[in-house]
Structure 1
Amino acid sequence: MMDQVASTPAHGSDDVDLNAYFQRIGYEGSREPTLAVLSDIVHAHVLTIPFENLDVLLGRPIALDAVSLQKKLVHDRRGGYCFEQNGLLLLVLEAMGYEVSPISARVKLGYPRGEITPRTHLVLRIEMDGTSWLADVGVGGLSPTAALKFELDQHQATPHETRRIVRDGDLYFHQALLTGEWEDVYQMTMEEMPLIDREVANWYTSTNPKSRFKNILMVARAAPNGVRLTMLNDEFSVRDASGKATKTPIHTQGEMLELLAEHFGIHLHENDHANLPIIRG
């Protein structure tokens, strides 16, 4: 397996169908590699392509090559998690002429800062005019809806939550302001994450019995006016711009399928209906 992965090209921008991608996210603006275009694309992507781990729960392998990413997220109109979402955006930005690098991270949301979590998150670093920016369309219900300037201790407004980047020793923390409190979202050393490392982390995330994504059902999408939509196990949540969440329990598989279709645009094949578990919280 490792020999096959190692032979896979690190970059596949020549294989990206930009027209199909932009149609998928409903973007009709400029294609010049500027900051404004970057933020517009990030915003459109997060509002359109849902974060989801349904294929992991269905026991399907998660492929990271350009053809597979576009088939699933663009042509089949499904979603995915960080390695798929940011993997696709990496290819798109490269094809558009951005100077972009894949960066590894450790998700910290819900964990004490001192606890070492797996390095199983992918972030994108973009260089423009001597300034670094971060883009991340794959961190679940907190995917930033704009590019973030890599500048310490600066409050950065987005169409959704305010963000900032802080430093603790050799580590950098991306934080979100949630109900008046700063919460760590993930931790970075700014080390690059080449494809082989993404393949290994993706394999762990999608197959290890102890992986969170093998034990929870999670679907998320940003909506206009600062709203976040999330399905976590057997609960559907709508969180408004103030942080107030309205939660609805999911009792049956039929209710789950209706919510997936109505709010996330996910229409599973009929053969998958019986195999998709309702995980009780």
Structure 2
Amino acid sequence: MNEPFMLDLDTYLKRLGYSSAPPPTLATLGELQLRHSAEFPFETLSTMLHAPVHVDPPRVQDKLLRQGRGGYCFELNQLFLLLLQALGFEARGLTGRVVMGGPEDAQTARTHMLVLVTIEGVRYIADVGFGGMVPTGPLLLDSEAQQTTPHEPYRLSLADGTYTLRALVTGSWRAMYLFDLQAVAEIDYTVGSWYVSTHPDSPFLGQLVAARTGHRLRKTLNNGSFAIHRLGEPSERVQLRDVDAVLELLRDEFSIQVPEHPELRATIERLIASE
């Protein structure tokens, strides 16, 4: 029989800069979300190496809190959800369909996880796992007005029971993902993660993607292409040409402890050579 999962709350909070548990308020939620996206990077090293991605809480916690790694939405948002619940928030997971970069009416799979949080009867969306466009503040669910975050503005719209999240990027509103409020079971995360980590159509399979936020900036890595996007300024871009430069950047810019793997260097070399 499996032992019940115990969240290492003290270690988690210390990583986020807290010496004690903060109260379950809207201000706390906003600060947690902002700190989380800066501390725990989005990264796809496992799927790049065609390695299994486990989304059960004990292994997600070990990867993020002890191995010096980040992860993708089913890892980052699942542990974040457990953190919120441990702090006394009323919160549950949702799943979404990513449409960023494609038509809004595309029938994509449910390959994204986000969190619904209710505070004093008011519902908010929180998300710490949407890569280079992760919202860095909670978003009021029942409003279609433009909403500010520490980074880009976002807005939500509702049609036929489905919400669409859009972000204002370089002057235009771009759809990120669609979601609804249906109940989600643990198996839904397992199936969604399995699709993302194994299906030939997954954008992360065999690819290196990393993202992290900072004060008024975002850092992104796509194979060998590194960019720093500063609010209100032109993006800075660098094309990395050797494996050591990529590994150094993963360590220094994203604080990722790169795992040892026999195919690691060869895989990264192939990816940067193909660009």
- TM-score normalized with structure 2 length: 0.93
- Partner residue, 1:4: none
Residue segments in structure 1 that go unaligned for 5+ positions in a row: 1-6
1:221 aligns with 2:198: no
- Partner residue, 1:3: none
C-alpha RMSD of matched pairs (Å): 1.9
Deviates more, 1:120-129 or 1:24-33: 24-33
* Partner amino acid, structure 2, of 1:109: M
- In the TM superposition, residue 155 of structure 1 has moved relative to its aligned partner by 1.3
Task: Say whether the 8 Å CA contact 1:222–1:229 is kept in structure 2.
Answer: yes
1:240 corresponds, among 211, 230, 252, to 230
1:256 aligns with 2:274: no
1:111 corresponds, among 102, 117, 122, to 102
- In the TM superposition, residue 215 of structure 1 has moved relative to its aligned partner by 4.1
Residue segments in structure 2 that go unaligned for 5+ positions in a row: none
DSSP 3-state at the match of 2:204: helix
- Partner residue, 2:87: 96
- In the TM superposition, residue 29 of structure 1 has moved relative to its aligned partner by 6.4
* Partner amino acid, structure 2, of 1:180: G
* Partner amino acid, structure 2, of 1:186: Y
2:144 corresponds, among 153, 178, 185, to 153
Work out the number of aligned pairs and report it: 271
Percent identity reads: 34
Q: Within 5 Å, give how 1:87-236 maps onto structure 2.
A: 87-224=78-215, 226-236=216-226
Q: Using a 3 Å threshold, how does the CA distance of structure 1 residues 255 and 35 change in structure 2: closer, same or farther?
A: same
1:35 corresponds, among 26, 38, 41, to 26
- In the TM superposition, residue 144 of structure 1 has moved relative to its aligned partner by 1.1
* Partner amino acid, structure 1, of 2:59: S
- In the TM superposition, residue 59 of structure 1 has moved relative to its aligned partner by 2.2
Task: Say whether the 8 Å CA contact 2:117–2:125 is kept in structure 1.
Answer: yes
DSSP 3-state at the match of 2:155: strand
